[in-house]
Structure 1
Amino acid sequence: METLLLDSDEVDENARLPDVIRAVEEAFAAYERGDAQMPPKSYIDLPQYDGDFRSMPSYMDAGEWDAAGIKWVNVHPNNPADHDLPTVMGTMVYSDPETAFPLAIMDGTALTMKRTGAAAAVATDHLAVEDATSLGLVGAGVQSYTQLEAIAEVRPIEEVVVSDVDDERVQRFIDAYGDEFDVRDGSISEAGGCDVLSTVTPVEDPIVGPDDVGEHTHVNAMGADAEGKHELADDLLLSATVVIDDHEQCTHSGEVNVPYGEGVLGDEDIYGEIGEIVVGERDGRTADTGVTVFDSTGLAIQDVAAAHVTYENAREDGAGYEFGMIDTGVQ
């Protein structure tokens, strides 16, 4: 047997968003049904380098989705300026659960962007108004691109309003999508007034308040991935229907972590987990639903589900490079 190596371009090509969205939705369902194992994300803090490592193992067993893997990912904010490297890099090891053979090693950075966009798409599909045609983006970094591409798979998006403190980033985003959508620069309130809003910033002081969103806006809070990060004002969270991806992760490092830790927001203020909605244990949007918020921290089961479809697509298309990493002689 040989291991398949997939670089970032090959992952990007084979992690097709419709497939990844379906895989991530199934991952949420499997986790809710108890058909998955996902130990808590572990951290190695490296203050001397102003960075950290995170390990994310998982396994899901749900029919065709018999898959296991681990993602090793970092966050080093000084990388772009000091080393000409991305802030976030990741490597995914995708394994055969029956034998533990490493079926694939693939770029985890492109995979993370795809599965993160897919998670927002799943939440949007269940929580946004059916006829949503406008999308607001607060933050025009790399994650904003897959937010638009994935959400456009589940809603007929026509208008996009993007807000960012960096005018050059905004212009690059407009240049990338101006031929496909009606894209324009706007304020946070203009972005928040759209049918769907995705926030993808690393801020620790909230920048979106209740007056910045519409009466029925669905918000994907994607930026908070560590303690102290906080994009949405407490009064917005308290007035909205809040859906999380995982209680332990969200209360530790998700959008709700700060108000939850301070006792401002409690379990009674959290409507439920996205998996409960996917499997039908809780309702998604109804006629009476106002503002909704999806607090996404990113789950390891999303990575393994996305890796599964990426690997299958790559094998079918003959993509990647096969190599003999393991001596398969019986011992």
Structure 2
Amino acid sequence: MTPEEAARAIEGVLLDGLDPETAPARSAIPVPAGELLMMPAASTAYVGVKIAGVAPANPTVGLPRITGSYLLLDGPTLQPVALLDGIALTSLRTPAVTAVALDRLAVPEAEHLVLFGSGPQAYGHLDALLAVRRLTRVTVVARSAEPAEALVRYARGLGLEAAVGTSAAVAGADLVVCCTTARTPLFDGALVPDHAAVAAVGSHEVDAREVDEVLVGRSALYVEARAAALREAGDLLMAGVTAADPLWNLAELVRGEAPVPADRPRFFKSVGMAWQDLAVAAEVHRRGVGR
């Protein structure tokens, strides 16, 4: 499945009437190595659950920080039908969700992407955004020089003008995407132009954020689901956002029900939800069995 096809799968379930507000909540269980996440979702045709591990010490021994598997079951009988690589699935669906949102939030002439991070999600987001938008330029901002340069080379191989930059690059951005493990803001939100669209996908913790309260206060706000964001989105909660504030969910955005103002930034905060995994996993399985 290509990034564009994954984005269409996400759009499809929303256009078919899925309500993200009713999706089951994620369960987070502390374990000695870090955290175990359980993410169930169900539709008429399929049921699925992702079990993901977050092991902060893994990179020090050359292993991925995130681990996981996805079990897909037949909806009517609950018989297992497939076991998928949970990390490959996450690496596909998270950028797809961002692409669906930013395709609607970015100005038509958006060309310059400022990309924070240099890990798998950074590569996935670059591919996904290129699938829905005609970008010409990318600026990579990352903590480590070598991975940042590697991502720049990858972007150049895709035909983009690419360079390593600093956080100040957001002042000239059309799109800003944050996919890092940062727990404090990555840039000064006052620098972001009014025409820019910003997405943050790096955390689902109430005490971690990639953007500051300045950007949140300036922006029109969009989330996958209000219920999930008000439980988990530190970027919003630490900026003082409450249920009384205007938050548009992804279904409302996709269906054309959410306003998209042109006079201030548009900020999409993603925490990751189980219905997204199910949408992509189900489509992968349908392709695999030819139906």
Q: SS where residue 267 of structure 1 aligns?
A: coil
1:27 paired with 2:13, answer yes
User: Which residue does 2:176 correspond to in 1?
Assistant: 197
Q: Deviations over 1:226-268 (max 9, x none)?
A: 23111111121011001011223222222435426xxx22234
1:138/1:191 contact within 8 Å kept? no
User: Which residue does 1:122 correspond to in 2?
Assistant: 100
1:57 paired with 2:40, answer yes
Alignment of structure 1 residues 62-101 onto 2, 5 Å = 66-82=45-61, 84-101=62-79
User: Which residue does 1:153 correspond to in 2?
Assistant: 131
Please state how far the C-alpha of 1:269 moved relative to its aligned partner: 3.3
Q: SS where residue 143 of structure 2 aligns?
A: coil
Please state how far the C-alpha of 1:55 moved relative to its aligned partner: 0.6
2:64 aligned partner, one-letter code: P
User: Which residue does 1:40 correspond to in 2?
Assistant: 25
Please state how far the C-alpha of 1:151 moved relative to its aligned partner: 0.8
Q: Deviations over 1:65-103 (max 9, x none)?
A: x33211110110101214x32110111111110111111
1:274 paired with 2:270, answer no
- Runs of 4+ in structure 1 over 4 Å off: 29-34
Q: CA RMSD in A?
A: 2.0
1:299 aligned partner, one-letter code: M
Residue of 205, 208, 212 corresponding to 1:233: 212
Any stretches of 5+ residues in structure 2 without a counterpart?
A: none
1:186 aligned partner, one-letter code: G
In structure 2, distance between residues paired with 1:231 and 1:272: 20
TM normalised by structure 2 equals 0.93
In structure 2, distance between residues paired with 1:248 and 1:195: 29
Q: Deviations over 1:79-128 (max 9, x none)?
A: 1214x321101111111101111111010101101100001100011111
2:187/2:212 contact within 8 Å kept? yes
How many pairs align?
290
In structure 1, distance between residues paired with 2:196 and 2:27: 34
User: Which residue does 1:302 correspond to in 2?
Assistant: 276
Q: Deviations over 1:143-192 (max 9, x none)?
A: 10011100111110110111011101101101222122111111112145
1:242/1:272 contact within 8 Å kept? yes
* Change over 3 Å in CA distance of 1:276–1:32 after alignment to 2: farther
In structure 2, distance between residues paired with 1:37 and 1:290: 30
In structure 1, distance between residues paired with 2:222 and 2:213: 15
Any stretches of 5+ residues in structure 1 without a counterpart?
A: 1-14, 318-331
1:238/1:269 contact within 8 Å kept? no
Q: SS where residue 238 of structure 2 aligns?
A: helix
State which structure, 1 or 2, has the greater radius of gyration over its C-alpha atoms.
1
Q: Percent identity?
A: 26
2:59/2:65 contact within 8 Å kept? yes
User: Which residue does 1:4 correspond to in 2?
Assistant: none
2:207/2:238 contact within 8 Å kept? no
Q: SS where residue 178 of structure 1 aligns?
A: helix
Instruction: Point out which structure has higher relative CO (alpha carbons under 8 A, 6+ apart).
Output: 1
1:200/1:222 contact within 8 Å kept? yes
Residue of 156, 169, 177 corresponding to 1:178: 156
In structure 2, distance between residues paired with 1:227 and 1:216: 28
Please state how far the C-alpha of 1:134 moved relative to its aligned partner: 1.5
* Change over 3 Å in CA distance of 1:16–1:314 after alignment to 2: farther
Q: Deviations over 1:8-49 (max 9, x none)?
A: xxxxxxx32122101112334456547x96321001112x32
In structure 1, distance between residues paired with 2:56 and 2:264: 36
In structure 2, distance between residues paired with 1:31 and 1:225: 25
In structure 2, distance between residues paired with 1:271 and 1:38: 17
Q: SS where residue 256 of structure 1 aligns?
A: helix
1:278 aligned partner, one-letter code: V
In structure 1, distance between residues paired with 2:173 and 2:39: 34
2:6 aligned partner, one-letter code: V
1:135/1:197 contact within 8 Å kept? yes
In structure 2, distance between residues paired with 1:174 and 1:228: 31
Please state how far the C-alpha of 1:270 moved relative to its aligned partner: 3.3
In structure 2, distance between residues paired with 1:39 and 1:218: 28
2:154 aligned partner, one-letter code: A
1:45 aligned partner, one-letter code: P
User: Which residue does 1:323 correspond to in 2?
Assistant: none
